[in-house]
Amino acid sequence: MAQGKIIAQEVSRRIVTWNRIEKRDIISTMPNEIIANVLSRLTLKEAARTSVLSTTWRYQWTYFSGDVDFDHSLRTLLLRHENVGVLTKCNVFVRDWERFMSRLQHVLKSLKCHSMQGLRICMDMGNPWKVAEWVKFAAQKNVETLDLDFSYNFMEPFFEMSENIRNVLSRSFEMRALKVLRLASVDVSGEIIESFLASCPVLETLCIRGSKSLESLKVQGEGLRLKHLELVECHILCLDICAENLMTFTYTGDYGKLNFEAVPSLVEASFGGKYCNYLLSNMNDVELYGVLSQVHVLKLELFILYGVSEIK
């Protein structure tokens, strides 16, 4: 009888123990580093939703180290096609822009991670007073991919304003982890880009689109790892390239002097705009065509009266 009672007590004790194990929040007991790694495999929005799980999880999302992506372009595109008056659209645009900026600044100030996979900010007109601050933030967080896109896609009557309000990046930052840099509708000079190339030792992809300040550029440097270079809607007067690892090159813009000093790894080149017409009308440029003869793929975007054609 006594033995049966002992067995019953032991069974009851084990049942209670297993119930406690099943109810215990094992994930919350893990180190913050592991939790942050798990959250970083989600999107930032999904990671932020975990803040409602418990008081322990309220600020765990601030250690997110994945891709931080703020894209307001879809909202402005939908607003552009809404069947309401222009004044209403403008009022909504300004209100949404302010909300977007407020949310963006709140998130950036809240993040406590030491490194991030990527930072992407895409918004109409951008914010000239915050560009340098965002780049500095990316440098402090050891971002691997930085993408700032301030292309204007909304509507009149803001178009003229967007042309006058330019997002200017007047200084560079040392970014030891940066591999990809994309700047759209950000005015940046050749001097600043050259400074980025010198202070970003692992940079492999550089894309500049719609910069009105870029007139002269030298892509060169000891140990340069640059593999992909895109200069789109730029009006470069002089470009010198000495990059042994460069594999692809794209240029769309007005005619300028392009000097390929050393590009032994170049396998793909793409040209568009007025410079493409220059190539076709100056077949006797032996130096340039000597370089292009080594590429496997040559793309020429030709603007014809009835459309656009592409030759490969």
d(CA 264, CA 38) in angstroms, rounded, equals 42
122 part of a folded domain: yes
Q: What is the mean pLDDT of residues 180-199?
A: 93
Rounded Cα distance, 262 and 265, in Å: 9
Is residue 248 within 8 A of residue 227, CB to CB? The reply is: yes
Tokens of 83: 């069947």
Does some domain include residue 278? Answer: no
Please, what sign has the CA dihedral across residues 297, 301, 302, 306? positive
Of 37 and 248, the structure prediction assigns the larger pLDDT to: 248
Q: What is the mean pLDDT of residues 68-97?
A: 82
Most confident of 88-92, 171-175, 197-201, 298-302: 197-201
Residue 30 lies in a domain: no
Domain membership of residue 140 (yes or no) is yes
Mean pLDDT of all residues in the chain?
Answer: 81
Q: With respect to residue 13, please indicate whether it lies within any of the assigned structural domains.
A: no
Separation between Cα atoms, residue 218 and residue 197, nearest integer Å = 10
Residue 254: its pLDDT value, please?
85
Confidence of residue 28 (pLDDT cuts 50, 70, 90): low
Instruction: Please state the rounded mean pLDDT for residues 217-224.
Output: 90
- pLDDT for 281: 78
Lowest-confidence range among 52-66, 83-97, 187-201? 52-66
| Residues composing the chain | 312
pLDDT at residue number 12: 53
Residue 304 placed within a domain = no
The domain of 65 spans: 61-214
Which one is predicted more confidently, 13 or 97? 97
Mind listing the pLDDT tens digit for each residue in 222-267? 889 999 999 999 989 999 999 999 999 999 988 888 888 889 999 9
* Total domains in the fold of the chain: 1
Q: Is residue 221 part of a domain?
A: no
Predicted TM-score (pTM) of this structure: 0.82
22 found inside a domain: no
Angle at 112 between CA 110 and CA 114, to 5 degrees: 145
